Amino acid sequence: MTSPRVALITPSYRNDFELARDLCRSLDEFARFDHEHILIVPARDRALFAPLAGPKRRVLVREEIIGRHGFRRLPVPTLIPLPFGRTMRLREQYHLKGLGRVSGWLVQQIVKLSAAEFSDAEVFVFADSDVLLFRPFTADMLQNGDGLHLQRHVEGRDLETHRTWRATAHRLLGVTQASAEPFNYIGQFVTWRRPVLERLLERIEAQTSQGWQRAIAKAATVSEYILYGEFVAEGLAEPSGHIAADRKLYNSVWLPDERIDVEAIAAGTQPQHVALHIQSTHPIPIEERRAAVAAVKARVPR
Check if the beta carbon of residue 57 is closer than 8 Å to that of residue 40. Answer: no
Check if the beta carbon of residue 232 is closer than 8 Å to that of residue 149. Answer: no
The span from the CA of 133 to the CA of 78, in Å, is: 30
Segment-wise mean pLDDT, segments of 10 residues, the chain, 302 residues: 76 95 98 97 97 97 96 81 69 92 94 98 97 96 94 94 97 95 97 98 98 95 97 96 96 74 89 90 83 90 81
Residue at 219 is within a domain:
yes
Residues 176 and 35 in one domain: yes
Residues 238 and 267 in one domain: no
Q: Specify the pLDDT at position 257.
A: 61
The span from the CA of 264 to the CA of 241, in Å, is: 37
Q: Which domain holds residue 54?
A: 6-248
| Residue partners of 195: CB distance under 8 A and separation at least 6 | 241
Residues 85 and 221 in one domain: yes
Residue at 1 is within a domain:
no
Check if the beta carbon of residue 9 is closer than 8 Å to that of residue 197. Answer: no
Residues 200 and 127 in one domain: yes
Q: Specify the pLDDT at position 212.
A: 98
The span from the CA of 204 to the CA of 222, in Å, is: 13
Total count of domains within the chain = 2
Residues 22 and 32 in one domain: yes
Residues 133 and 192 in one domain: yes
Residues 139 and 259 in one domain: no
Q: Specify the pLDDT at position 285.
A: 86
Q: Specify the pLDDT at position 107.
A: 96
Judge if pTM exceeds 0.85. Answer: yes
Q: Specify the pLDDT at position 258.
A: 62
- Count Cβ atoms within 10 A of the Cβ of residue 285 and give its class: 0-12 exposed, 13-18 middle, 19 or more buried: exposed
Residues 220 and 301 in one domain: no
Residues 274 and 132 in one domain: no
Residues 144 and 285 in one domain: no
Residues 140 and 150 in one domain: yes
